[in-house]
Amino acid sequence: MIYQNEQKLPEALYRAIARDPYKKLSDFTATELPGPPQIRVLKQRYDNQIVQDVSELIYPLIGNNTHYILERMGLKNALQEERLTANVDGHSVSGQLDFYDETEILWDYKITTRFVLIDGVKPEWEAQFNINRWLLAQNNFNVRAAKVCAIFRDWSKIQAMRNSDYPKHQVAILPVNLWPLGDVETYISDRIKIHKEAEELPDSRLPLCSPAERWEKPTKWAVMKKGRKTAVRVLDSESEALKYIEEKKLDEKNHFIDFRIGESTRCEYYCVVKDYCSQYKNIRR
């Protein structure tokens, strides 16, 4: 990875981001395995060519700092920021725990958006938790529950006071579904196979990222009313939007249809390997 500083951030901040101390010590991590093989393989192949501006890495830096701050707990008889490793099908798999103690609860602290309260625990988070739980089991530690401590980076106290549907606090606890340990080991084995098979393929034949993995937003047609900020109704086609206006006998002088083109949000704004991705190039055509 090549780090640049086009926004002229302070040198201290640039160096804090560019000098990431993390070193991968296993074949696969609990974070990598649930992720798209295409992204992982392209990162490996083009690591020395990928350029990223440090101004786009502020959130990961904040997340890392949160983990350093939590180390202040200084609790004894607890696993904190502990990395565990085990072998599966001849490959090493590792996971880093945020916190686990004699309560047998596995915790992960995440700096995230408040919308997680609507969307729920992300599937990749659930998979990561269960891989870490399996790693704990390999070291004779039992996990009876798993929880995300979600810290909302976009929370506003004023909005919380004004809006009854808004989170009342900047922190929320989200339970995570635990899988049977046998299912977790099967999942790990299956994901290793998928990733290893991808490593043998040329760029143009790598497994495609799914719509969910691309954070795809489908094209929509919104029925709008003049003077109103939110849509009256959002529909999947123009014909449905026209039919809705007709059925509801909406005044065409005060209502109109807003065409909202879909996009793959991750590809467009967050994927560091999009310049090397055949799928992205096809989407952009």
pLDDT tens digits, one per residue of 142-180 = 999 999 999 999 999 999 999 988 999 999 999 999 999
| Torsional sign, CA 280, 281, 282, 285 | positive
Residue type, 139: N
Angle subtended at Cα 10 by Cα 6 and Cα 15, rounded to the nearest 5 degrees: 85
Q: Which two tokens stand for residue 217?
A: 């937003």
CA distance to 30, 113, 122, per residue, from 119 (Å): 22, 10, 7
Query: Is residue 105 pLDDT above 90, yes or no?
Result: yes
Region of 120 (left: φ > 0; alpha: ψ -120 to 50; beta: rest) is left
Task: State residue 107's pLDDT score.
Answer: 95
pTM (2 d.p.): 0.86
Q: Which residue's structure tokens are 């094209």?
A: 219
User: Could you tell me the domains of the chain?
Assistant: 2-205 (3.90.320.10), 219-261 (no CATH)
Query: Is residue 185 pLDDT above 80, yes or no?
Result: yes
Rounded distance between C-alpha atoms, residue 209 and residue 167, angstroms: 32
Q: Which residue's structure tokens are 């990395």?
A: 83
CA distance to 77, 117, 238, 260, 285, per residue, from 218 (Å): 49, 22, 13, 9, 17
Q: What is the pLDDT of residues 244-284, one digit of tens each?
A: 998 888 988 889 999 988 889 999 999 999 999 999 999 88
Q: What is the pLDDT of residues 107-137, one digit of tens each?
A: 999 999 999 998 899 999 999 999 999 999 9
Task: State residue 69's pLDDT score.
Answer: 73
